[in-house]
Amino acid sequence: MSMTAIAAVDKNWGIGYKGDLLISIPEDQKGVFRKYTAGNTVVFGRKTLLTFPGERLLPKRVNIILTRNDNFEKEGAVILHNREELKKYEADHPDEKLFLIGGASVYESMLDLCDEAIITYINKEFTADAYFPNLDEDPEWELDHEEDEIMSEVGVSFNVRFYKRRAEA
């Protein structure tokens, strides 16, 4: 599989608190998230859908929702129930670029299917109860490169880090 994880994390690799993002950074949402995912396929859990305004699907993207609920339906979305269905979807759509966009349980259970990660690293700590796996401490991942720090209009600085899975030794 060739899937890319994309997330915004704080200094502790936190991504959310009480079902919401830690902070909304317009420069990240437009300049990073939309830049990479628009025109591609996004994969996320059902609970993440609940955080979208009006539970609307992300425009200009194929939306794949992962859920264990066999009866779940969402008009306009592709509904998959497990990693095998996701692998089959990718095999059946080899020209699509897939982005894993959350939430925490989806990152935890599907990160091993990714070979790249685009991480917006926020230079601040927040109260969090949902986390992205810390790639800096994972021997399977390495930092490939990072962009210069950006000061957001909401008063926090961040930089975008690009990770890749280490080649098998």
Tell me the pLDDT of the chain averaged across its residues.
95
Q: What pLDDT does 167 receive?
A: 81
Q: Which domain CATH number covers 51?
A: 3.40.430.10
Confidence check: pLDDT of 168 > 90: no
3-state helix, strand, coil in the chain (%, to 5): 25, 35, 40
Prediction pTM value: 0.95
Confidence check: pLDDT of 1 > 70: no
For the stretch 97-130, pLDDT in tens is 999 999 999 999 999 999 999 999 999 999 999 9
Q: Where are the alpha helices (DSSP H) in 22-155?
A: 26-28, 35-37, 46-49, 83-92, 104-110
Partners of residue 130 on adjacent β-strands = 16
In a domain, 11, yes or no: no
In a domain, 108, yes or no: yes
For the stretch 2-30, pLDDT in tens is 799 999 999 999 999 998 899 999 999 99
In a domain, 38, yes or no: yes
